[in-house]
A = this chain, B = another copy of it.
Amino acid sequence: MSYAHWEIVPTRWKDNDVYGHVNNVVHYAFMDTVINSWLIDKGGLDIHEGQVIGLCVESHCNYHASVSYPEKLSVGLRVGHLGRSSVRYEIGMHREDRSELIAQGHFVHVFVDRTSRRPVEIPGPLREALQTLMVS
């Protein structure tokens, strides 16, 4: 499958668990990191001061193969669905050379007002940016 944005994500020593591979929990930190760095860099999200923030309401991962520190991952990101106030990201975690799919997940953000934590319409510039992550 194809992704609209790619990022190389290194693993950390502590990511390996007692079974010698990156623990299943860590894959969600990869998703969170790639999504938010894209939102900050391309979508104009201000995680410290902005009035609109993205809260995770659902996440999912299927694990196909294991990966171990000190390996790096090639993480692909695309948008699967773009709603009024929510967006569904689809993430593919691959070996660094993209030779193998390690894990595949999705992650749903609802954009809310920072103070009230009530859903708000995705601001125009962010919506336009998110549309560039949609893969036909």
**For A12, what are the chain B residues with a Cβ–Cβ distance below 8 Å?**
29, 32-33
**For A100, what are the chain B residues with a Cβ–Cβ distance below 8 Å?**
none
Of the four ranges (under 10, 10 to 19, 20 to 34, 35 or more), the interface on chain A belongs to 35 or more
Tell whether, in the assembled complex, residue A29 and residue B18 are in contact, meaning their CB atoms are under 8 Å apart: no
Q: Bound complex: CA of A28 vs CA of B56, how far in Å?
A: 13
**For A134, what are the chain B residues with a Cβ–Cβ distance below 8 Å?**
none
Name the CB-closest residue of B to A30.
B12
Q: Bound complex: CA of A58 vs CA of B19, how far in Å?
A: 17
**For A20, what are the chain B residues with a Cβ–Cβ distance below 8 Å?**
18, 48
Q: How far is the CB of A47 from chain B (nearest CB, A)?
A: 6
> Which of B17, B41, B58 has a CB less than 8 Å from the CB of A61?
B58
Tell whether, in the assembled complex, residue A56 and residue B24 are in contact, meaning their CB atoms are under 8 Å apart: yes
**For A58, what are the chain B residues with a Cβ–Cβ distance below 8 Å?**
60-63
> Which of B14, B19, B25, B61 has a CB less than 8 Å from the CB of A53?
B19
**For A61, what are the chain B residues with a Cβ–Cβ distance below 8 Å?**
58-60
Q: Bound complex: CA of A37 vs CA of B41, how far in Å?
A: 28
Name the CB-closest residue of B to A109.
B24
Binding site for B on A (CB under 8 A): 9-10, 12-14, 16-20, 23-26, 28-29, 32-33, 35-37, 40-41, 47-48, 53, 55-63, 66, 68-70, 117
